[in-house]
Amino acid sequence: MYHKVSDSESEGLTISALKLEAQLQYLSEKGYRSYHLSELMDLQKLPSKKSVVITFDDGYVSQLEYAVPLLEKYGLKATFFIPLKYMGATDAWNEPSFPLLSSEQLKSLDPSLVELGYHSFAHQKYTELSLSEIEEDTQKAFEAASNNELPLTATLAYPYGKFPRKNPEKEAFCNHLREKQFVYGLRIGNRINQFPFKNPFEINRIDVKGEFSLRKFKRKLKFGKFF
């Protein structure tokens, strides 16, 4: 899981283009096959043990500038998760803020290379919202996608990786996702997933930090965490 890409900075949720390229080059050279999440919906098993899903959250302009050319260079696919309220604006939840992709920029992406998924509408923590507020946020996200004619897949990456963990809130949340025909929900777990997914609304993602060395990236890729 990635966020912002930079021409130089590499710390926290920002990774330098140089480090990103080293990681993508490693995946390519080691024979990893990348998938769009939509492709997994029709599979019962993966044809290769070396399978990855590459995701980028928030839809930064820097992802278009740096990540897309690298994905193309190394023959890898990725999913961009978009907080639809902020298209063409900035990531208002961060300080300082950075520009996000517009609807036109999102539509210009090659769908064979990058697919789009939901990252909510307003980028709020679901754990701090009532069910009715979550339902309203989802409806606004659907309307924004429709009004802008964006081809988003039935996948949702939870902002901050947060979602209700205890019943009855968790059950109600998952029922809402089913009612809205979401197929996958993505959290942050820093664990390796087994496919088919045991719980399609609790898919783990490995959080790649900008300060990671390539050696640490390889360990994360293999184990999901450090020891």
> Please, what is the angle between helix 169-179 and helix 131-147, to 10°?
20
Which of 46, 22, 101, 57 lies closest to 207, judged by CA?
57
Neighbouring-strand partners of residue 133: none
Q: How many residues does the chain have?
A: 227
CA distance 61 to 66: 9
Q: What is the pLDDT along the chain (227 residues), one digit of tens a residue?
A: 999 999 999 999 999 999 999 999 999 999 999 999 999 999 999 988 899 999 999 999 999 999 999 999 999 999 999 999 999 999 999 988 999 999 999 999 999 999 999 999 999 999 999 999 999 999 999 999 999 999 999 999 999 999 999 999 999 999 999 999 999 999 998 789 999 999 999 999 999 999 999 999 999 998 886 54
pLDDT of residue 153: 98
Residue ranges with strand state E in the chain: 4-6, 14-16, 33-34, 51-52, 55-57, 78-82, 114-118, 152-157, 184-186
Integer angstrom CA distances of residue 84 from 51, 122, 206, 217: 29, 7, 23, 30
CA distance 50 to 154: 24
Coil, helix or strand at residue 29: helix
Is the Cβ–Cβ distance between 119 and 157 less than 8 Å? Answer: yes
Longest dimension (CA), the chain: 47
Domains annotated on the chain, with CATH? 4-223 (3.20.20.370)
Instruction: Supply the pTM of this predicted model.
Output: 0.96
CA distance 117 to 56: 10
pLDDT of residue 225: 65
